[in-house]
Amino acid sequence: MKNYNQKKVNLVSLRDFSGSCHGGDEIPAGTFHEGDEISLGGLGILALCAYLLFKSNSASSPVTTQEENRSRGAQLNGIQPTKRSYRTSDGSADYGFNFEKQSDGTWRAYIENQPSYRGRDTGAHSTHRLTDGARKYVCWTSPLRSLEEAKQVAGLWADKTQQYIRTGNSF
């Protein structure tokens, strides 16, 4: 059983990448934020109560702690994804990423949430996205060797994508 005296609890079923509902925390422009976690405050306490009530009434709860998610991910394939949201440098949009370490040790920034391209070309070349099955991830010229490097590339990609959506200028 998870110790709930910690200050943060992962709420998978309530996750959103907008940054607008994280215990009153605002995401500064040009930064990443852990989209999985909500600080315990008014909303956090309510969510924690809902979690505990649901957990006590269900053996297979869709709401799990971050530690349980990491453990489950490790059991499934030995690779632990890291979810983050990014607010663009101009503060106009939020992007959601799932950073996953690959079996060869490199990292990918899978795009979980992003604004519409608003009629712009959405092809792989124009948007600098590659596809892995049904999932899109950020295209980069060299292997990403660390989570930090993957986050830097994803942030740059989000800023350039937002500029492309606004102006139509390719990057």
| 109-132 pLDDT tens trace | 999 999 999 999 999 999 999 999
- Residue 118 covered by a domain: yes
52 and 34 within one domain: yes
152 and 81 within one domain: yes
- Residue 148 covered by a domain: yes
Global model pTM greater than 0.75: no
- Residue 23 covered by a domain: yes
Q: Is pLDDT of 61 > 50?
A: no
95 and 48 within one domain: no
Longest dimension (CA), the chain: 53
62 and 82 within one domain: no
59 and 82 within one domain: no
- Number of folded domains that form the chain: 2
> Among 9-18, 67-76, 97-106, which is the least confidently predicted range?
9-18
Q: Where in the sequence is the domain holding 27, given as residue range(s)?
A: 8-66
- Per 3-state DSSP, the chain is made up of helix, strand and coil in percentages (nearest 5) of 35, 25, 45
Sequence-distant (6+) residues with CB within 8 A of 58 are none
Computed on alpha carbons and rounded to an integer, the radius of gyration of the chain in Å comes to 17
- Residue 3 covered by a domain: no
Dump pLDDT digits (tens) for 126-155. 999 999 999 999 999 999 999 999 999 999
Residue 108's CB is within 10 A of a number of other CB atoms, namely 23
Are 170 and 164 spatial neighbours (Cβ–Cβ below 8 Å)? yes
pLDDT at 12: 32
Q: Is pLDDT of 25 > 70?
A: no
pLDDT grade, residue 58 (50/70/90)?
Answer: very low
120 and 97 within one domain: yes
Domain end call among 22, 42, 66:
66
